[in-house]
Amino acid sequence: MRDKLIMNQKERDRKVVLELVRNGHMTLRDISKRLHISYRQTKRIWKRYKDEKDIGLIHRLRGKPSKRAFTCHRRNKFHT
């Protein structure tokens, strides 16, 4: 049984255009212009996509608590 991979719209858009690169229809430079990101960032995304497939496009902090979040004790203190 395979786990479901949940992607947001931005990640799905990246997957679609990176498939164009994989199939030889577009270059990384074309993709960087289309996604409005730098060529350097496009190369990093492409490398991670090649190495890790779809899971490489998912944001690394998804599902983790924010580093800026208040602790439960501190949050309750503000609401009382």
46 or 64, greater pLDDT: 46
- 27-48 pLDDT, tens digit per residue, is 999 999 998 999 999 999 999 9
Q: What is the per-residue pLDDT for 1? A: 47
| Token code pair at residue 58 | 């998912």
The whole-angstrom separation of Cα 58 and Cα 53 is: 10
Q: Which of 36, 60, 31, 33 is nearest to 46 (CA)?
A: 31
* pTM, two decimal places: 0.69
| Token code pair at residue 57 | 């496009």
- Is the model's pLDDT at 49 over the cut of 60? yes
- Is the model's pLDDT at 10 over the cut of 80? yes
